[in-house]
A and B are shown apart, each in its own frame.
Chain A
């Protein structure tokens, strides 16, 4: 018998139908072959540089940091990437692998639409057919991203099974994959799923942390005291955490969607309300009931609204290398507004959870070590831009009056317009 593949302690693995095992092994081989091929590395680096616009800048945000207890705060600007988030890093890598495997079709799941848009983008660039599965509820809420994907030539399939959201889109993508695996690659958008996805997706995103580590050393002459990221599936967080994993003095903080508060039951805080289980091919923390049925989740941020989390995060949580805490909708939106007003940067609502967490972390670090000569340094992964979230934010803050809302709803009824684009999956 084969040894269990892709384990992070007791988490990870491959909890999949036998029919998919051959494709997972083919993918694993193609990925390792590519790692040993300098041409692959050069091509990916060229795309990062000339297409995505890497390296992304590291921006210090002193006016924002005035609210972080005296810490210095730096943002890793994944929001400035082509397509508006970190998602493109992984998508370009997997799209190149798809071409190497000789497959002509990619499928993807998406929640808010950001991974779907990135996948549609790479498929257009590389001449691949592209089908994106998206919960029907999300296609209605995120009509603008549906239009973006269609402009890029992708087919968007609304999924109406189950709760008609991200987890159901993943189920449907898995069903497509098991049926069409001969010519199709499932371009999974985060660090979960069966091996090799959690490791491979992390490695494609590890460029975030590698750049950030060099940049912060160059700017401050030292490593940061803390790195903060939001965690849905957890790809942006793994991408920035990975380069700091062997720096014990750097605290790693993941922030989950606390929704209306963990005590309300309406949240997506897997490490507060979940227990170890199996979902979508991986052993990890899962929000589930006593019978092992997956629980419904809630977050203002579609990209964090997912009942499970990447297995390496489960491992980092249980070993204590990283800490995870919930951030409520309200805290995230307050941090969203603060960054807009103090720095002129509109973050994705997902990333605003990391910003809210960074304010907490900065204050705590300053309390622990109040030395004005050596303020704590906090790096935040700003995983996506928030242009797309303007409508959600405008409603949240009451920036549109009732008449505008009526008029907007009228327009929506006539011609679908996005309520919000979302920035996660």
Chain B
């Protein structure tokens, strides 16, 4: 059993969805990002996706794109992602990394996997690496006991849903809508339909991302998904309130949402 298997089993036993929080490493600076992951872990996040800031984040909307730019401008270096992963682990949540492929490729996929595992990371989500291109990463993840997590999208065919789910461990990242990351007023319909289609091909936990920003939406998604992923809305509160008070409040609201 991996740490991800454990946490989803525990949430299932509690008859609730997991709260999966995304925060970029190094935003707005390294120390604040470490404090931020501790804050969301304390406020009820079960899994924390530690984002790797990248110069060309083409899957991300303006909030995360700007956070990445600021982190890089403030001197973020790739190896610092492991410091943040370690902080998540120490705070009692399950850390996974979310990274575009090129930083990992440049670092060396096997070396990255080894260092991530050593820091206590449970796996990695790869927004621009589909299983078709992931032989190298999957081998590295296998070698170091990490869970590879790939995305499915509303446009995925049933064949691709099956192929992608088979390549995942830990959970499957269900991208609720066609589009980039960012808060949306509605995430309902297409997400539920895609979760249903994905359930038909896998027993893995399904976590829904893209667009959730309130406790109300979290509760809505928690009715049909095993995990609720929140990113841009959390990242925005860090920018607006670097004392992290609003981050704690929103995380607590979301944690109540997944328990409704």
A residues sitting closer than 8 Å to B (CB atoms) are 1-5, 13-23, 161-162, 167-168, 170-171, 174-175, 178-182, 275, 277-281, 286, 288, 290-294
Give 6 closest A-B pairs by Cβ, nearest first: A292-B106, A19-B153, A292-B103, A22-B155, A179-B179, A291-B78
Shortest C-beta distance, B138 to chain A (Å), equals 10
Could you show 26 A-B contacts with beta carbons less than 8 Å apart? Answer: A1-B132, A3-B132, A4-B133, A5-B132, A13-B133, A14-B133, A18-B156, A18-B164, A19-B154, A21-B155, A22-B153, A162-B55, A162-B56, A170-B58, A277-B106, A278-B105, A279-B56, A280-B56, A291-B77, A291-B103, A292-B54, A292-B102, A292-B105, A292-B106, A293-B54, A293-B55
Shortest C-beta distance, B36 to chain A (Å), equals 21
Determine the residue in chain B with the shortest Cβ distance to A168.
B56
Is the beta-carbon distance between B65 and A291 smaller than 8 angstroms?
Answer: no
Give the distance in Å from the alpha carbon of A292 to the alpha carbon of B112 in the complex.
12
Indicate whether B195 reaches chain A with its CB closer than 8 angstroms.
no
Indicate whether B175 reaches chain A with its CB closer than 8 angstroms.
yes
Is the beta-carbon distance between B180 and A2 smaller than 8 angstroms?
Answer: no
Shortest C-beta distance, A24 to chain B (Å), equals 10
| Given A178-B178, A277-B106, residue A15 in contact with residue B55 (CB < 8 A) | no
Indicate whether B129 reaches chain A with its CB closer than 8 angstroms.
yes
Contact of B56 among A20, A167, A182 (CB under 8 A): A167
Is the beta-carbon distance between A277 and B132 smaller than 8 angstroms?
Answer: no
Report how many residues on chain B are interfacial, defined by Cβ distance under 8 Å: 44
**Interface 0/1 of B129-162, CB less than 8 Å to A:** 1111100000000000000001111111100100
Give the distance in Å from the alpha carbon of A19 to the alpha carbon of B161 in the complex.
11
Shortest C-beta distance, B232 to chain A (Å), equals 13
Contact of B163 among A2, A13, A292 (CB under 8 A): A2
| Given A14-B130, A21-B130, residue A161 in contact with residue B58 (CB < 8 A) | no
Indicate whether B44 reaches chain A with its CB closer than 8 angstroms.
no
Which residues of B sit under 8 angstroms from A286, Cβ to Cβ?
Answer: 102
**Interface 0/1 of B63-85, CB less than 8 Å to A:** 00110010010000110000000
Determine the residue in chain A with the shortest Cβ distance to B181.
A175
Which of A1, A3, A16, A175 is most buried by chain B, counting CB atoms within 10 A of its CB? Answer: A175
Which of B58, B133, B164 is most buried by chain A, counting CB atoms within 10 A of its CB? Answer: B58
Shortest C-beta distance, A253 to chain B (Å), equals 28
Which of A168, A171, A290 is most buried by chain B, counting CB atoms within 10 A of its CB? Answer: A171
Indicate whether B253 reaches chain A with its CB closer than 8 angstroms.
no
B residues sitting closer than 8 Å to A (CB atoms) are 54-59, 61-62, 65-66, 69, 72, 77-78, 101-107, 127-133, 150-157, 160, 163-164, 167, 175, 178-180
A-B interface contact total, Cβ < 8 Å: 125
| Given A21-B160, A167-B56, A171-B57, residue A16 in contact with residue B130 (CB < 8 A) | yes
Give the distance in Å from the alpha carbon of A291 to the alpha carbon of B116 in the complex.
15
Which residues of B sit under 8 angstroms from A290, Cβ to Cβ?
Answer: 106
Give the distance in Å from the alpha carbon of A23 to the alpha carbon of B103 in the complex.
26
Is the beta-carbon distance between A161 and B156 smaller than 8 angstroms?
Answer: no
Is the beta-carbon distance between A181 and B55 smaller than 8 angstroms?
Answer: no
Give the distance in Å from the alpha carbon of A277 to the alpha carbon of B153 in the complex.
25
Give the distance in Å from the alpha carbon of A171 to the alpha carbon of B100 in the complex.
13
Which residues of B sit under 8 angstroms from A161, Cβ to Cβ?
Answer: 62, 65-66, 69
Give the distance in Å from the alpha carbon of A293 to the alpha carbon of B104 in the complex.
10
Which of B61, B72, B78, B133 is most buried by chain A, counting CB atoms within 10 A of its CB? Answer: B133
Which residues of B sit under 8 angstroms from A181, Cβ to Cβ?
Answer: 155, 178
Which of A13, A286, A292 is most buried by chain B, counting CB atoms within 10 A of its CB? Answer: A292
Which of B56, B101, B154 is most buried by chain A, counting CB atoms within 10 A of its CB? Answer: B56
Contact of A17 among B66, B127, B157 (CB under 8 A): B127
Give the distance in Å from the alpha carbon of A16 to the alpha carbon of B100 in the complex.
10
Which of A1, A17, A277 is most buried by chain B, counting CB atoms within 10 A of its CB? Answer: A17
Which residues of A sit under 8 angstroms from B152, Cβ to Cβ?
Answer: 18
Shortest C-beta distance, A2 to chain B (Å), equals 5
Shortest C-beta distance, B173 to chain A (Å), equals 9
Is the beta-carbon distance between A19 and B155 smaller than 8 angstroms?
Answer: yes
Give the distance in Å from the alpha carbon of A98 to the alpha carbon of B69 in the complex.
34
Contact of A280 among B58, B65, B167 (CB under 8 A): B58
Which residues of B sit under 8 angstroms from A278, Cβ to Cβ?
Answer: 101-102, 105, 128
Which residues of A sit under 8 angstroms from B160, Cβ to Cβ?
Answer: 18, 21-22
Which residues of B sit under 8 angstroms from A174, Cβ to Cβ?
Answer: 58
Shortest C-beta distance, B193 to chain A (Å), equals 15
Determine the residue in chain B with the shortest Cβ distance to A173.
B58
Which residues of A sit under 8 angstroms from B163, Cβ to Cβ?
Answer: 1-2
Is the beta-carbon distance between B69 and A17 smaller than 8 angstroms?
Answer: no
Shortest C-beta distance, A135 to chain B (Å), equals 13
Determine the residue in chain B with the shortest Cβ distance to A25.
B157
Give the distance in Å from the alpha carbon of A408 to the alpha carbon of B56 in the complex.
36
Is the beta-carbon distance between B155 and A293 smaller than 8 angstroms?
Answer: no
Shortest C-beta distance, A408 to chain B (Å), equals 33
Determine the residue in chain B with the shortest Cβ distance to A19.
B153
| Given A178-B178, A294-B55, residue A18 in contact with residue B106 (CB < 8 A) | no
Which residues of A sit under 8 angstroms from B61, Cβ to Cβ?
Answer: 175
A17-B153, A280-B58 known; 10 new pairs, CB 8 Å cut-off, are: A15-B133, A16-B130, A18-B152, A19-B155, A174-B58, A175-B58, A175-B180, A291-B107, A292-B78, A294-B56
Give the distance in Å from the alpha carbon of A29 to the alpha carbon of B129 in the complex.
22
Contact of B151 among A5, A17, A170, A182 (CB under 8 A): A17
Is the beta-carbon distance between A288 and B56 smaller than 8 angstroms?
Answer: no
| Given A4-B132, A4-B133, A5-B132, residue A18 in contact with residue B153 (CB < 8 A) | yes
Is the beta-carbon distance between B77 and A21 smaller than 8 angstroms?
Answer: no
| Given A175-B61, A277-B106, residue A18 in contact with residue B151 (CB < 8 A) | yes
Is the beta-carbon distance between A22 and B156 smaller than 8 angstroms?
Answer: yes
Determine the residue in chain A with the shortest Cβ distance to B62.
A161
Give the distance in Å from the alpha carbon of A16 to the alpha carbon of B59 in the complex.
9
Is the beta-carbon distance between B102 and A288 smaller than 8 angstroms?
Answer: yes
Shortest C-beta distance, A196 to chain B (Å), equals 14
Which residues of A sit under 8 angstroms from B151, Cβ to Cβ?
Answer: 17-19
Which residues of B sit under 8 angstroms from A179, Cβ to Cβ?
Answer: 178-180
Shortest C-beta distance, B189 to chain A (Å), equals 15
Give the distance in Å from the alpha carbon of A278 to the alpha carbon of B129 in the complex.
10
Determine the residue in chain A with the shortest Cβ distance to B59.
A17
